[in-house]
Amino acid sequence: MSSSTVPYAVKSARIRGFDGLRALAFLLVFISHKAPSPVRDRYGTAGVWIFFVLSGFLITRILADARGGIDAGESSFRSSLARFYARRTARIFPVYYVFLAVVTVAGLWNLVETGSAARQLSNWLYLSNIYIGLHGWETRLGHLWSLAVEEQFYLLFAPLALVCPLRRLHVVCLSIIGASLAAHAYLLFTGASDARFDTDSLVNFGLMAIGGLAGLWADRPLPRLLRGDGPLVVTLALILAMPVLFSSTAAWIHFARSTCVLNGLLLVQIYQLQNGRFTRLLDLYPIRQLGIISYAAYLFHPLINLSELANDLGYPVHSHRSWTMLADLAATIVLALASWRMLEQPVRKWLVALSEQRNCSVVNNG
């Protein structure tokens, strides 16, 4: 697929700096959970929104590339959709369901509060955001709501993106943003709870659609005013300032998603400045590695509390909170790295190879 035949030049190579941005998003969420306060809670939400916009950017480009293959006669809608879901399943499901299985067993021994049977079922079915919107947060597993939103977005967006002509894919993203704004207005005027605003599927789909637009238009040169390390740092600084600039938590929850346009701009700036100093900083090995394992780290971190464990074992810890946070962060990273090397990578490679083998068999038999 060439940029001369479609308005989007889609590249599948790793984008330098994006893993570093994942690391930043995870750290914002981690701090908000380990040292909660109204302002830090907003930073945690900002971290989740970075994940959403980044996911939309990458997923839309993957699907645009697949749609280009359909247009070129290299694949069919059915095979492209099956391949997309197979790869998403291989990446997301193994560690997620192993985590839930371990948590469920721990819950039977009263080591972890897992909530009601309906709450647990919502986790297994990627519906926890809907449950939380109706019943509140309930357990330490509330963070799973964002993964539920992402899975629901994949189910909705992937077939739409693959059936839509590539030159019209931006219309799909704009339509989702419009529906998101309508859902937001409905919740606002009906007095929905803060938990509902936080976790509503359609409201948050708009953030991934913003990322999708950024991904589709990432190869269009930015105006000179927005190019270079200086403008990139300014955009990131504005993103990080937003949780403080909003006067209240209610104002943040109700209106701050509009600032995620800055997140989309940041992604395009990083994409177009692959050899820039700040992009290279984000791509330093330790930062990049934290971004690579951030999915498992995000899954594990709310349940890792070493000082609480020591107290339960009869060894009370009186260290300053900053030290206990660092210990929890180190333990989270170690477990996430082990998960990446021993579970996620091997199972992912096996499932992808199995899926490709099955696809080849179907094509040959057809």
pLDDT, tens only, 11-55:
447 899 999 999 999 999 999 999 999 999 999 999 999 999 999
**Domain total of the chain:** 1
Centre a 10 Å sphere on the Cβ of residue 327 and count the other Cβ atoms it contains.
Answer: 17
Structure tokens given for 210: 């913003």
User: Positive or negative, the Cα torsion across 125, 36, 49, 137?
Assistant: positive
Rounded to 10 deg, the angle between the 201-216 and 260-272 helix axes is 30
How far is 44 from 36, CA to CA, in rounded Å? 9
Whether 263 and 204 have beta carbons less than 8 Å apart is answered as no
* Four-CA torsion 19, 21, 23, 25, nearest 10 degrees: -140
Residue 338 belongs to some domain of the structure? no
For residue 320, tell me if it sits in a domain: no
- Spans of the chain below 50 pLDDT: 1-12, 362-363, 366
| Tokens representing residue 66 in the block | 């697949």
Number of H helices, E strands in the chain: 18, 0
Residue 314 lies in a domain: no
For residues 105, 107, 111 and 112, what is the CA-based torsion angle, rounded to 10 degrees? 120
Does residue 289 belong to any structural domain of this protein? no
* 292 close to 19: Cβ distance less than 8 angstroms: yes
| C-beta atoms surrounding 66 within 10 Å | 24
Domain-embedded: residue 318: no
C-beta separation of 281 from 275 below 8 A: no
Residues near 249 by beta carbon (within 8 Å), at least 6 away in sequence: 38, 41, 42, 194
pLDDT given for residue 361 in this prediction: 55
Residue 21 lies in a domain: no
Chain-centroid distance, C-alpha 295: 8
Q: What is the pLDDT of residue 138?
A: 82
Phi-psi region of 17 (alpha: psi -120 to 50; beta: other; left: phi over 0): left
Is 153 a domain residue?
yes
The residue range of the domain holding 249 is 43-284
Is the separation of the CB atoms in 21 and 211 below 8 Å? no
pLDDT of residue 1: 35
Residue labelled with tokens 């959403």: 52
Would you say 207 and 48 are in contact if contact means Cβ atoms under 8 Å apart? no
pLDDT the model gives residue 359: 63
* Cα(362)–Cα(81) distance, integer angstroms: 14
Is residue 60 situated within a structural domain? Answer: yes
Q: In angstroms, rounded to a whole number, what is the distance separating the alpha carbons of residues 191 and 86?
A: 39
Within a 13 Å sphere around the CA of 231, how many CA atoms are in the beta-carbon half? 16
Overall pTM > 0.85: yes
Residues 6+ apart with CB under 8 A from 150: 52, 55, 208
* C-beta neighbour count of 30 within 10 angstroms: 22
